[in-house]
Amino acid sequence: MRHGHWIGGRAEEPANRSYLPTLDPATGLPGDEVAAGSAPDVDRAVAAAEGAWREWSRRSAADRSEALHRVADAMAAHADALIDLERACTGKVPAQLRLEVDMSVSYFRYYAGILRAHHGRTVDQGAGHHTYTRLEPYGVVAVITPWNLPLNQACRASAPALAAGNAVVAKPSELTSASTLMLARLATESGLLDGLLNVVTGTGLDVGTPLAVHPDVRRIAFTGSVVTGRHLATIAADRIVPATLELGGKSPLLVFADADLDRAVAAAVSAVTANAGQVCSATTRLLVEAPVHDEVVARVVEALELLKPGVDFGPMITEAQYRKVLDHFATAGAVPVTGGTAYDDLPGLYVRPTVYAGVDPRLRIAREEVFGPVLVTLPFTGEAEALALANDTEYGLVAAVWSGDIARALRLAERIEAGQIAVNGGALGIETPFGGFKQSGYGREKGIEALHEYARTKTVSLSLH
Ligand code: NAD
């Protein structure tokens, strides 16, 4: 099947009439084709968005809320079709797909709800003045997303951007565009104003950059690699438009000897299995207090060796990512205690869950984001060394701390340089603001913070004299 763009409430052919192939990474078979967009397609989509956002932003909060609830309803009603599309180009296992699609629906429900409580305020300047603020949209927001959680990331940025009164032009990864296109179609069919949610597919160079430099794009929301984030941040700085950058991570999971080891081991296993480790917030540096290090590693390895590819975890989603993980294995400079190879007997892009135990923290495998089912472990002695190792990274997206000493865990939570810290499995969801410190990026998604990201504050002051 061939997918065109979604522009102004309808499917549109690419200007150059070219399409790009996709691949089912679970089988290695070719998948659907998506439009190979280019600058003229971007121009059409931005024009459609520019023509739509003012009318949208003038509607009452109640109206906008109802419209976004209807988008959520349409997504929920077509969840199975969204799952099928997402599976075809990512090979994800069913539980992971269900989780991601349910969460995608929830982004629309959550922002449809809280937008009704998103107001300016009055500012008391004394008698004779009436001063207030208005929260106004930027206009056209570019949403550029990667391939690892395609629909989820598109919704994570688009729902708050729309809720705040903006229009969106989304540019998904050319390898995983189908679910984002279906989101836009469902949004239109559910009554969302034409032009409010557009999708232009294609490569970063042919669509992403023309979108970011477009003079009518007033804000950029980017999720992806540090290299592309830096490129887009440079464009944003040059154009003086704000950007949100959700980039990579090499996040620590700290386990003290007094922790509930059963739950800590389960958390370490799920860092590897959830989306086969292709999650920016995966806690792939397992830091364990020395007396229990070997026991924790043995239990994690035992659990990982029971897992079945295609059942408990999916493949690498792209061929490039598959090759990148195998290159990490070849150059690790350490011998894994489990894994370290691909499943050569399977047709898809599967690699074995892998653990490098007690590694030298200076090794590339211990410092770079692998973005695959790969853990490194490091033993530590005492709180100070745990903290130093946790912060010994250029990244700062998330961290997890497991300890029976809550005061110690919270002391560490205060000092670890990361945007989200889960203590003893603390829940993190749509309500909890998410975003990086250091090279993991800036700006916040999720929570009410994301609504603020997509609104500009205007002050109006009236003299009563
Ligand atoms: P990527 O940066 O290569 O691509 C991301 C998006 O940017 C894609 O749509 C791509 O087409 C586009 N793009 C690429 N080059 C571009 C250019 N020159 N100009 C404009 N757009 C361009 O990243 P990826 O390989 O698709 O994704 C993996 C990375 O994403 C990992 O590093 C991962 O950590 C990160 N990630 C971060 C988060 C987060 O929320 N922090 C979530 C998921 C993934």
Sequential DSSP letters for 235-288: HHHHHT--EEEE-----EEEE-TTS-HHHHHHHHHHHHHGGGG--TT---EEEE
CA dihedral 279→285→289→294, nearest 10 degrees, is 100
> Domain check: are 319 and 367 in the same one?
yes
**Backbone dihedral region for residue 446 (phi beyond 0: left; psi -120 to 50: alpha; all else: beta):** left
Q: What is the pLDDT of residue 250?
A: 98
> Domain check: are 228 and 287 in the same one?
no
CB 181 within 8 A of CB 152: no
3-state secondary structure of 51: coil
Residue 434 belongs to some domain of the structure: no
Q: What is the pLDDT of residue 345?
A: 93
Rounded Cα distance between 49 and 293, Å, is 54
Looking at the CA of residue 246, tell me the nearest atom of ligand 1: 41
Determine the distance separating the centroid of ligand 1 and the alpha carbon of 365, expressed in angstroms.
Answer: 20
Determine the distance separating the centroid of ligand 1 and the alpha carbon of 172, expressed in angstroms.
Answer: 9
- pTM for the model: 0.97
Residue 296 belongs to some domain of the structure: yes
Q: What is the pLDDT of residue 135?
A: 98
Q: Which residue out of 12, 246, 289, 445 is catalytically annotated?
A: 246
> Domain check: are 418 and 454 in the same one?
no
For the question of residue 324 being annotated catalytic, the response is no
Determine the distance separating the centroid of ligand 1 and the alpha carbon of 349, expressed in angstroms.
Answer: 20
Residue 149 belongs to some domain of the structure: yes
Looking at the CA of residue 211, tell me the nearest atom of ligand 1: 20
Instruction: Please choose from 199, 223, 251, 440 the residue to mutate so as to test ligand 1's pocket, defined by most ligand atoms within 8 A of CB.
Output: 223
| Crossing angle (nearest 10°) for helices 178-189 and 79-90 | 160
CB 455 within 8 A of CB 443: no
Q: What is the pLDDT of residue 123?
A: 98
Q: What is the pLDDT of residue 54?
A: 98
Instruction: Please choose from 280, 369, 395, 439 the residue to mutate so as to test ligand 1's pocket, defined by most ligand atoms within 8 A of CB.
Output: 280
Which protein residue has the closest C-alpha to ligand 1 atom 11?
204
Q: Which residue has the tokens 């294609």?
A: 202
Residue 193, φ and ψ in degrees, nearest 5: -50, 135
Those residues whose C-beta lies under 8 Å from the C-beta of residue 164, and which sit 6 or more positions away, are: 115, 118, 135, 137, 451, 454, 455
> Domain check: are 266 and 221 in the same one?
no
Look at the chain and report how many structural domains it folds into.
Answer: 2
Which protein residue has the closest C-alpha to ligand 1 atom 13?
204
CB 212 within 8 A of CB 169: no
| pLDDT tens digits for range 313-340 | 999 999 999 999 999 999 999 999 999 9
3-state secondary structure of 336: coil
Determine the distance separating the centroid of ligand 1 and the alpha carbon of 248, expressed in angstroms.
Answer: 9
Q: Which residue out of 86, 369, 383, 453 is catalytically annotated?
A: 369
Q: What is the pLDDT of residue 436?
A: 98
Residue 142 belongs to some domain of the structure: yes
For the question of residue 89 being annotated catalytic, the response is no
| Crossing angle (nearest 10°) for helices 382-391 and 406-415 | 30
- Look up residue 283 and give its two tokens: 């806690």
For the question of residue 453 being annotated catalytic, the response is no
CB 163 within 8 A of CB 451: yes
Give rounded-to-5 percent helix, strand, coil for the chain.
Answer: 45, 20, 35
Q: What is the pLDDT of residue 453?
A: 98
CA–chain centroid gap for 121, Å, is: 31
| pLDDT tens digits for range 353-411 | 999 999 999 999 999 999 999 999 999 999 999 999 999 999 999 999 999 999 999 99
> Domain check: are 197 and 334 in the same one?
no
> Domain check: are 261 and 350 in the same one?
yes
Strand arrangement of the beta sheet that strand 140-144 belongs to: 10-12, 5-7, 197-199, 167-171, 140-144, 217-223, 243-246, 441-442
β-bridge mates for residue 203, sequence order: none
> Domain check: are 305 and 200 in the same one?
no
Which residues of the chain are modeled with pLDDT < 70? Answer: none
User: At 122, which helix (H) or strand (E)?
Assistant: strand 122-123
For the question of residue 280 being annotated catalytic, the response is yes
* Residues framing ligand 1 (Cβ under 6 A): 144-148, 171, 173-174, 203-205, 208-209, 212, 223-225, 228, 231-232, 246-248, 280, 369, 371, 397
Give pairs for 329-334: CB < 8 Å, separation 24+: 329/354, 331/364, 331/365, 332/356, 332/363, 332/364, 332/365, 333/360, 333/363, 333/364, 333/365, 334/359, 334/360, 334/363, 334/365
> Domain check: are 414 and 457 in the same one?
no
Q: What is the pLDDT of residue 153?
A: 98
Q: Which residue out of 12, 155, 250, 280 is catalytically annotated?
A: 280
CATH code at position 215: 3.40.605.10
Rounded Cα distance between 195 and 57, Å, is 13
Q: Classify burial at 236, counting beta carbons within 10 Å of its beta carbon; exposed 0-12, middle 13-18, buried 19 or more.
A: buried
CATH code at position 286: 3.40.309.10
Q: In terms of residue numbers, what domain contains 410?
A: 252-429
> Domain check: are 223 and 291 in the same one?
no
Q: Where are the beta strands (DSSP E) in 138-180?
A: 140-144, 167-171
> Domain check: are 164 and 277 in the same one?
no
3-state secondary structure of 46: helix
In the chain, the amino acid numbered 184 is A
Instruction: Please choose from 103, 151, 173 the residue to mutate so as to test ligand 1's pocket, defined by most ligand atoms within 8 A of CB.
Output: 173
Which protein residue has the closest C-alpha to ligand 1 atom 14?
204
Rounded Cα distance between 68 and 109, Å, is 7
Which protein residue has the closest C-alpha to ligand 1 atom 31?
225
Q: What is the pLDDT of residue 265?
A: 98
Which protein residue has the closest C-alpha to ligand 1 atom 17?
204
Determine the distance separating the centroid of ligand 1 and the alpha carbon of 155, expressed in angstroms.
Answer: 16
> Domain check: are 259 and 242 in the same one?
no
Residue 336 belongs to some domain of the structure: yes
CB 254 within 8 A of CB 393: no
Q: Which residue out of 12, 92, 155, 171 is catalytically annotated?
A: 171
> Domain check: are 225 and 263 in the same one?
no
Rounded Cα distance between 355 and 226, Å, is 25
Residue 386 belongs to some domain of the structure: yes
Looking at the CA of residue 320, tell me the nearest atom of ligand 1: 25
* Residue 335: how many other CB atoms lie within 10 Å: 8
Q: What is the pLDDT of residue 102?
A: 98
Instruction: Please choose from 225, 369, 395 the residue to mutate so as to test ligand 1's pocket, defined by most ligand atoms within 8 A of CB.
Output: 225
* Residue 465: how many other CB atoms lie within 10 Å: 6
Determine the distance separating the centroid of ligand 1 and the alpha carbon of 144, expressed in angstroms.
Answer: 8
Q: What is the pLDDT of residue 10?
A: 98
Determine the distance separating the centroid of ligand 1 and the alpha carbon of 30, expressed in angstroms.
Answer: 22
Q: What is the pLDDT of residue 24?
A: 96
